[in-house]
Structure 1
């Protein structure tokens, strides 16, 4: 099944990232990710604070944004994927594709922040707004970050399409017991968390479209210069 083959490729790329063997880089990456999470919460406070959006906001910050929780998930997936042929018979490929794409999106977020962390470490700089602005401009990955936003949007719409199909939703729910019995709980739960986060939403577009629009605007701003030749601010104190 293509979805699980792709998932193995994503995990191989993840474990090849240099911060796994470099404590200083790992610590700097954690600082960058923590700052990014604070920035995202601040930027999207109005959107995230709406009751119907809170599960989706939590899903973005904890499931699609890497960190230690993702590393634990990656370790569990690495262990179960060699036996994943059983899972291919339990769940619809569209659900597995949604999960695989979500994991890919999380890995890309880690990679992009890793590049910022590497630059900050080389410059011996702490993680502050001014230094993050400098890192963004020095690393200069605006286009890659646009791809990241597009991937997040794709994950959301694919998951929403699955959730709104009665047959697919029923098949996935029926697979839970068997998935747990064969120790495929990590992957099943990762996918199911996305489904649960979207349930309260009247339309996923009401969440993902304003989120992506604002993130794309920020990408433009931090890579642009004002009249004094200085980069625009993130707007986070």
Structure 2
């Protein structure tokens, strides 16, 4: 299965999610995502605020975790994908795979937060820290959250591998003019944004490893119901 076929399946799954036809649910999802973005920013402030990491942090928060921005990208991709077979001849398959996996990661984040939003809406609860903790524990998608973190890590390492290959990087750069001419700009720019975000990093592992380690610790803490305690600010000491 090609990267573009995978991408089409991801988009089909995205448009099948119920919030597209439910205004109230969509509003609650937006509130959950805004809370999540603020929480990520707070939890990883030391990592995100380092000058070399700022583009990568922005990529995480607006591209891999972007609500309205991602929906606009999905709408654009939906229009161009039926004609996008030409793009497979313009850009290396590995670059398209990285882009497809990035979009899959964004959709997975939306889907998991959608389940939280559905529970909060059913309980008629606002998006607060205590209510988010209750939602996490009731919905109980600990394993799925771990998959989400693993997918993010895979996206970063695949993109970094492409960026550090001179031949692949050159081929992708040469494809820009043709990609734009054939109206493949949204997908090209999504992939290119990831490349640019990683460029200042001496090593992508210095960003993604501490990020994932902290997130996995938080998942452990949130779902540890045996000790009768709750994490402070969804954080760990």
Same fold (TM over 0.5): yes
Cα-to-partner distance string for 1:134-172 (whole Å, 9 max, x where unaligned) = 000000000000000000000000000000000000000
Asked if 1:219 is matched to 2:226, the reply is: no
Q: Is the 8 A contact 2:218 2:235 kept in 1?
A: no
- 2:107 maps to what in 1? 107
Asked if 1:42 is matched to 2:47, the reply is: no
When the two structures are superposed, what TM-score results if normalisation uses the length of structure 2?
0.97
Question: CA separation in 2, counterparts of 1:219 and 1:61?
Answer: 19
- 1:70 maps to what in 2? 70
- 1:15 maps to what in 2? 15
Cα-to-partner distance string for 1:27-68 (whole Å, 9 max, x where unaligned) = 000000000000000000000000000000000000001300
Cα-to-partner distance string for 1:71-114 (whole Å, 9 max, x where unaligned) = 00000000000001110110000000000000000000000000
CA RMSD in angstroms, aligned pairs only: 1.1
Q: Which runs of 5+ in 2 are unaligned?
A: none
Q: Is the 8 A contact 1:55 1:198 kept in 2?
A: yes
- 1:185 maps to what in 2? 185
Question: CA separation in 2, counterparts of 1:46 and 1:225?
Answer: 28
Question: CA separation in 2, counterparts of 1:161 and 1:21?
Answer: 39
Q: What pairs with 1:1-237 in structure 2 (closer than 5 Å)?
A: 2-225=2-225, 227=227, 229-233=228-232, 234-235=234-235
Q: Which runs of 5+ in 1 are unaligned?
A: none
Which runs of structure 1 show a deviation greater than 3 angstroms over 4 or more consecutive aligned residues? none
Question: CA separation in 2, counterparts of 1:136 and 1:47?
Answer: 25
> What is the DSSP-based 3-state SS (H/G/I as helix, E as strand, rest coil) of the residue aligned with 2:229?
coil
